[in-house]
Amino acid sequence: MREFRGRTAFITGGGSGIGLGMARAFLDRGMNVVVADLLDSHLADARDLLSSTNRLHCIRLDVSNREAMREAAEETTRLFGKVHVLCNNVGVSQRKPIDEAAYEDWDYVLNVNLGGTIAGLVEFLPGMKAHGEGGHVVNTSSMAGMIPVPAFAGVYAASKFAVRGLSDSLRLALAPYGIGVSVLCPGMVKTRAMTAGDVYRQAHEGAGADEKRDTIEGGMDPFELGDIVADAIAHNRPYIFPHGEFREEVAGYFNEMLAAFPIEFELDERRRASEERRAKMTAEAKAMADALGQAE
């Protein structure tokens, strides 16, 4: 999607951090932007930082609430019309190690990180496909969705691996509609994502908490990351890996997986034929997805 001006983007978790960086990048390129966030303080920050334009609209949203996501999609369409860019960006974590997490810990993280992404797709994709003007979906995963992580981040990683997997498949599915898909896998960014977990959870559970937490220092500037995302959309890149320090670790992880495959094996002809058909279908869909935007 090369042309941004006059088009509309919807961003979850858009009131701070990475989402706020995307919002500014899109506004700078002439888009209408709807920022959705659960915390009023984050929405207030977004209005203060980005309110020099009438192309910004803020919505308080719990992404795990499907009806609320439906209403947000309807509100966005009423206000700005067709949606061209969907950023399923919101993400939360929790404190317990993966081997000690209770049902409520799993439900909280998965309902927001994975369930919120699914809700965004269910409510926004029909309209994006129907208007026929193409567009782009950005799903925020994490480097925790690419490589093993310590136990304290295990539940979070499970949700982010799922987001990465669905994004790979979604890219193939949406290519015939002219809609690209990128999965964003950041490392450390100057956000409140890890320190605001308790606050998000209290607000999510209706406890009314709405306070600011400390920003993670030493990470990438979220406004720099927003520009990286916009550039990836313009070039229809399937993966957005902004943090080069992970390259060798990812290579080692994937090489370990490759080494686990048998080199010599027997293959039944029916199985071979089935796998060849599947591989051909995947290759054809991938070629179509990768070709989006090349003629623009």
Q: Phi/psi zone of residue 240: left (φ > 0), alpha (ψ -120 to 50 degrees), beta?
A: beta
**Which of the following is catalytic: 103, 108, 156, 253?**
156
- Give, in degrees to the nearest 5, the angle at Cα 79 between 73 and 83: 50
Q: Phi/psi zone of residue 293: left (φ > 0), alpha (ψ -120 to 50 degrees), beta?
A: left
CB-CB neighbours of 83 under 10 Å: 22
Domain boundaries, the chain: 8-291
**Cβ–Cβ < 8 Å for 90, 12:** yes
Question: What number is the average pLDDT over the span 110-126?
Answer: 98
Long-range contacts of 279-287 (CB under 8 A, 24+ apart): 282/172, 285/172, 285/173, 285/175, 286/171, 286/172
Residue 239 falls in the annotated catalytic set? no
Task: State yes or no: pLDDT of 104 exceeds 90.
Answer: yes
**Cβ–Cβ < 8 Å for 122, 214:** no
* The listed CATH number (3.40.50.720, 3.20.20.70, 1.10.238.10, 3.40.50.170) that belongs to domain 8-291: 3.40.50.720
**31 or 2, higher pLDDT:** 31
CB-CB neighbours of 24 under 10 Å: 19
Helix 40-50 and helix 17-28, axial crossing angle in degrees, nearest 10: 30
Question: What number is the average pLDDT over the span 17-27?
Answer: 96
Highest mean pLDDT among 149-153, 173-177, 213-217, 290-294: 173-177
Q: In the chain, what percentage of residues exceed pLDDT 70?
A: 91
pLDDT tens, residue by residue, 174-209: 999 999 999 999 999 987 654 455 556 666 666 554
Residue with structure tokens 């796998």?
A: 275
For residues 35 and 13, give the distance between their C-alpha atoms in angstroms, rounded to a whole number: 7
For residues 134 and 123, give the distance between their C-alpha atoms in angstroms, rounded to a whole number: 16
